[in-house]
Structure 1
Amino acid sequence: MKVLYFAWLRERLNRASDEITPPSEIVTLNDLVAWLRARDEALDLAMENPAIFKLSINARIVPGDTPIAGATEIAILPPMTGG
């Protein structure tokens, strides 16, 4: 499974993506985010407030309680700023 990071999150992590194989107990997007944060201090700090991020499975934005079974691509999208 590929995890994509966008915008300022990608810049803070200094990478655009990760290839991961989550353990079987990781069932939902929320589980996955918690698991990723526990494994990566930089991601944990950047996602201090995970509720502000949008999540997508296979290019479709979905709620955090969505199961990840069958997902090939997960995206984490931070809130956008602009002017």
Structure 2
Amino acid sequence: MQVRLKFFASLREALGAEGSLDLPEGSTVAQARDALLARGEPYAQALARGRALRAARNQTACSEAEPLENGDELAFFPPVTGG
């Protein structure tokens, strides 16, 4: 299956605004992140497991356990803080 990727804030600067990813059927957000990490730099640094990141599936915030479906939009972004 294929998912569309979007990156925001500092991730957009490091990885670009959009992309796509081919995954096995039944993959989760965590598995998508792992597949991106496996691409090496700059993904390995921008999406490193130690970094606090949020994800959204089809414009709805989700956990990394969220299952993905063909054609989904998956976005990654850093946590938002206000002041």
TM-score (norm 1): 0.81
SS at match of 2:38: helix
Question: Does 2:74 correspond to 1:74?
Answer: yes
Are the equivalent residues in 2 in contact too, given 1:58–1:71 (CA < 8 A)?
A: no
Counterpart CA distance in 2 for 1:40 and 1:17 is 17
The Cα RMSD (Å) is 2.1
C-alpha offsets along residues 5-37 of structure 1, whole Å, 9 cap, x if unaligned?
A: 000111022x10102222x16611001100111
Q: Distance in 1 between matches of 2:30 and 2:82?
A: 27
Q: Alpha-carbon deviation of 1:49?
A: 3.2
**TM-score for the superposition, normalised by structure 2:** 0.81
Select the structure that is richer in strand. Answer: 2
Matches within 5 A, 1:5-20: 5-13=7-15, 15-20=16-21
**More helix, by proportion:** 1
Unaligned runs of 5+ in 1: none
Gaps of 5+ in 2: none
Distance change (3 Å), C-alpha of 1:61 and 1:8 = same
CA gap 1:25/1:41 in 2 versus in 1, 3 angstroms: farther
